[in-house]
Structure 1
Amino acid sequence: MKRFRTLSLTTLFTALLVAGPAAHAAERVVVLTIPGMICATCPVTIKHALSRLDGVKKTNIDLEGKEAWVTFDDQKASVAALIRATTDAGYPASVKP
Structure 2
Amino acid sequence: MKSKAWTQAQKLAALIGLAAAFSAPALAATQTVTLSVSGMTCAACPLTVKKALSKVVGVEKVEVSFEKREAVVTFDDSKTTLEKLIRATENAGYPSTVKP
Q: Shorter-chain TM-score: which interval?
A: 0.7 to 0.9
Q: CA–CA distance in 2 between the matches of 1:76 and 1:85?
A: 14
Residue of structure 1 in register with 2:96 after alignment: 93
Are positions 1:38 and 2:41 aligned together?
Answer: yes
Q: What is the percent sequence identity of the aligned residues?
A: 44
C-alpha RMSD of the superposition: 1.7
More helix per residue: 1
The C-alpha deviation readout for 1:16-57, integer Å capped at 9, x for no partner, is 6xx66xx11010010000011111110000000000000000
- Ranges in structure 2 where 5+ consecutive residues have no aligned partner: 1-7
SS in 2 for 1:36: coil
TM-score normalised according to structure 1 size: 0.86
Aligned residues: 93
Residue of structure 1 in register with 2:86 after alignment: 83
Residue of structure 2 in register with 1:58 after alignment: 61
TM-score normalised according to structure 2 size: 0.83
